[in-house]
Structure 1
């Protein structure tokens, strides 16, 4: 267990703002999806209090083991994790346990990026381990789910919107040239314009 001084001032206000954005329903979706993909029996409490639900969400994922099992279930053969390594083994040494928890979270994040989730949708290890931004943790799991749903052979539940697909269009040379002749209305038009009646400034007066 890590020990940190309680936040105060601006840091505390920022943390309160982040915690207030925690979505109970989204957290439950994430836990449900993880359970369906990994086959693990994850207890999803029927809580409506943000603080209590965030505590449960954090406790379930903090050691990184479920996250590693999640990404391992999505990885193709040949890229699977080796769960026989010490990283995934329990230990009674508190220092080793903390280090392994953080290492597992780091492995999940690395594999998630390799899987195709943008860096902007992942999170820092402390966001989960130190519980500083569980909102971003949910965002990462959601992004991973959306990416997984777009892959061929995916047979898990589809609980998030489908990923946008490319819609490449091809135009002939003739069509491209025809488009160059069209002037968009936002550029304006000088059709029918002339200088008749235009008079700038005072007329020149020639006196004897």
Structure 2
């Protein structure tokens, strides 16, 4: 098997049809319209129009001009606008897909991951009142320790500090084996 085929198989293996379905249903609910029958999930999202409409529903005016016609570059521009709007909305840069992932259908699983990240980011926007996609992100749990508690923690020696009941690595011969010289 060629390396390229192996890489494609690994990427395709990451894809979860159930997550694709959840993301599609979330988009349909927010936009109030169903995906056309017989059109694949990635094919319907490919030109970026639906993604821009979704972003404008979540945060009105975030993408003022959506290209509905034009060449390939105009459609890829929609995807780029969606990605920029996602980042501005609170989606982490590492959670956003690359334009080629959708346009060339290289990694649709990453596109779905971005949609789930967008769904999680929507929890942090009080102006949006659902539906949400994915689990609610955890809130910060800030702790305040007294000076006495902090000093008490300094006297504790963890096992990684070398007090592992006298265990050492002496006697282990990792790497080069013993060299035995034979007599002449």
When normalised by structure 1's length, the TM-score is 0.69
- Shift in CA distance, 149/62, structure 1 to aligned 2, threshold 3 Å: same
**Alignment partner for residue 82 of structure 1, among 64, 68, 84?**
64
| Contact 1:28 1:44 (C-alpha < 8 Å) held by counterparts | no
Q: Deviations over 1:136-185 (max 9, x none)?
A: 11111111111112332332223411112111111122222233234446
RMSD (Å), alpha carbons: 2.5
| Contact 2:48 2:78 (C-alpha < 8 Å) held by counterparts | yes
Which structure: larger Rg?
Answer: 1
Q: Deviations over 1:4-32 (max 9, x none)?
A: xxxx9311221122123321111111111
Aligned residue for 1:64? Answer: 48
**Separation in 2 of the partners of 1:117 and 1:65?**
19
Structure 1 unpaired stretches of 5+: 1-7, 46-54, 91-95, 191-208
**Alignment partner for residue 2 of structure 2, among 2, 9, 21?**
9
- Shift in CA distance, 189/133, structure 1 to aligned 2, threshold 3 Å: closer
Aligned residue for 2:168? Answer: none
When normalised by structure 2's length, the TM-score is 0.78
**Alignment partner for residue 31 of structure 1, among 20, 24, 27?**
24
| Contact 1:36 1:156 (C-alpha < 8 Å) held by counterparts | no
Aligned residue for 1:196? Answer: none
1:145 aligns with 2:129: no
Aligned residue for 1:110? Answer: 84
3-state SS in 1 of match to 2:4: helix
| Contact 2:42 2:108 (C-alpha < 8 Å) held by counterparts | yes
**Alignment partner for residue 160 of structure 1, among 134, 143, 166?**
134
**Alignment partner for residue 41 of structure 1, among 11, 34, 38?**
34
Q: Deviations over 1:91-125 (max 9, x none)?
A: xxxxx321111000010011111211112111111
